[in-house]
Amino acid sequence: MLFALPEEQREVQDAIRRVAEEKVAPRAAAIDAAGAYPQDMFDLLRDLGLFTLPFPREYGGSGSMLSACVAVEELCRVCYNTAYLLVVQWTPFSAILAGGDGPQKTRLLPGLAGGELRAAFSTTEAQSGSDVSGIRTRAERVAGGYRLNGAKIWCTNSAQSDFVLVAAKIVDEGQAVAAARRGAINLFIVDRDSPGFTIGPPENKMGARGVPSCPLFLDDVFVSDENRLGAEGLGFRTVMEAFNRTRPIIGARGVGLAQGAMELAIEFVRQRAAFGQPVIDFQGVRWMLADMAIQIEAARNLVYRAAAMVDGGIEGAELSQAAAIAKAQATDTAMAVATDAVQLFGAAGISNDYPINRYFRDAKVLQIVEGTNQIQRNIIANNLLGRT
């Protein structure tokens, strides 16, 4: 490994690897097959105190993004869905930490840290996808707060959440829908039992099946001023900038998934023979495995470097560039490695009875979620050339 992990992160790696292999791996296939939320895995992560790992020590965390990436990598190596439970808890935590005021942090962060509260983060809409500026959900100013109207899709973890951070454009009371296209975006803390707020049925997803994603419907949902996250017109930008610091975690999921897929492929081909010799002795097979290792090591070092930059206090365009490169390369690597691993499994690779099928489906999800890899390339190009 070119990136030498400090002692603290090696200890995290050893501890999480033991848990992953002993407690998580035996459950991975069943979680995917059932497509149901794994409460037992949530309880395990809560009992291990992992929900605040990347955050400041005052919230019980390590204050280390590198430690968080190492933990996610080790979990994703055996079970994408269990690793995802950390990410969906960390996203709203990070948003509130970055954009929330004192009372909001006091009210919500301890519960998220201890696992007593669960939350979700919702920006995506059917007509806009990655184009966040094109969202149509409106927050109309009214006495004492706002009324939210609109619909969201693909809100992961919403079915289990106590509240959802919903992105909406602020307009004055009575303005036309078209005015929302020009409004300033803010995030709003919407309690799940708010009148007019409906969480739809889970999507039947190809991958990431253990943490359901649902549509949201908002029909005149009242949200008080106290539940607007950040200053009006500025809160969303603050949160988005903060997410640059957590993007290495998404890359870590790709590294872990790729590592697990390669290990499964090696184990499989070691047991097979063809044309009178072990499959592992064919040069073409050996080169495929070598290419997997090269890609994984490159992606791992990019992810660790971006995480170390976060821990070193680097911000702005330099971090944005490193984080986007790490996310795109690591998740593209996950897809490439999983694809070749399925090929090495042959006919068994397309059977749901073999785990590599699950790795392939989850890898495709990683190229799309948390900012598609096309969006990451836009970020990279903009940092190189400026916006056009």
Active-site residue, selected from the candidate residues 73, 125, 140, 370: 370
Q: Are 61 and 67 in contact (CB under 8 A)?
A: no
Who contacts 40 (Cβ-Cβ below 8 Å, separation ≥6)? 27
- Name the packing angle between helices 373-385 and 316-345 (round to 10°): 140
Q: Which alpha helices (DSSP H) does the chain contain, by range?
A: 7-19, 25-34, 39-47, 65-76, 80-99, 102-114, 235-243, 247-270, 283-311, 316-345, 356-366, 373-385
DSSP annotation of 201 reads P
Bridge pairing between strands 119-122 and 163-171: parallel
List the beta bridge partners of residue 222.
Answer: 147
Give the separation between CA 323 and CA 74, rounded to whole angstroms: 20
Active-site annotation holds for 8: no
Give the separation between CA 58 and CA 52, rounded to whole angstroms: 10
Q: So which residues are the catalytic ones? A: 370
